[in-house]
Amino acid sequence: MAAALRSEASQDNIAGPSPNILLADCGLFEPAPPAEGWLDRRIARGTRDFLQFPAMRPGEIERAFAVGLDLAVECASQGIRRAAAALVGKGASLTADVSACVHTGLPVEKIVDETSGVGGTTLYARRQAVGKPLFYYDLAANDPPRALEYLGGYESAALVGFIIGCAAESIAVTLDGWPALSGALWAAQWAPASRPFLRIAAPLSVSGYPPVRELLGSAPVLAQAECRLPGAAGLRALCAHAS
């Protein structure tokens, strides 16, 4: 999970110092070398394949949730008032598609189409992969812990903990990208009080975006061009517009 954080002192100065950039490793298969802003929060060497087993083993959902919650508490202790979050994971987009289907009630074909960046036989395979857990696991939007345990990944559960923890500390969280946006649906369902603190970074071109945006009840804070600013400039834009 990636997070850009801005303190109260610098939140109104978009041209000021870059926000603090943190990357929380919740479960890479191999540990990454130490680097500035890199947090080793690995729970295991990746989740299991949710097409064959529930992604998380017993107890892992609680540990992943705690990663995000602890990060939110640490942010509050440092005077952070705005944050932007994104998810990076091998199956993050696939999990996002399943989550969107569960929450919107729309069929897979309405969520996974050519706007997902795939076509032909690849599109067919993607739809099959999204449809399988929906059929076998009887996932329910009103039971986030069980659903996340079956779907994974660790970064998605950590995001849920981060959002809920930030809301408790009155920290606004701007969601960057489809996996983060769809993953936030679980936090909004689990803790409805977190909804007012959620922001959407920029409009997305995927077909699942409009219904998910409607469920979250939030409008984009940036135009797509702003969100594509390189490196720290883009992250400054996200944090500066998060209020």
**Measured between alpha carbons, how far is 104 from 188 in angstroms, rounded to an integer?**
13
pTM of the model as a whole: 0.85
Domain that holds residue 31: 2-240
Residue 8 CB contacts under 8 Å (≥ 6 apart), including other chains: 79, 80, 81
Any idea how long the chain is?
Answer: 243
Which amino acid is residue 19, in one-letter code? P
pLDDT at 11: 38
Of 218, 182, 26, 210, the residue nearest 100 (C-alpha): 182
pLDDT number for residue 96: 93
Output the pLDDT for position 187: 95
Average pLDDT across each block of 10 residues of the chain; the chain has 243 residues. List them in order: 55 44 77 75 86 89 93 89 82 90 95 86 91 89 91 90 95 90 93 94 90 90 55 53 51
Contact 85, 3 (CB under 8 A): yes
Angle at 52 between CA 46 and CA 54, to 5 degrees: 60
C-alpha to C-alpha distance for 118 and 93, rounded to whole angstroms = 12
Q: How far apart are CA 126 and CA 207, in angstroms?
A: 14
pLDDT at residue 8, rounded to an integer: 46
pLDDT for 13: 36
Q: How many domains does the chain have?
A: 1
**CATH assignment at residue 136:** 3.40.50.10210
The pLDDT assigned to 228 comes to: 52
CA distances, 75 to each of 162, 166, 180, 219 (Å): 10, 8, 19, 24
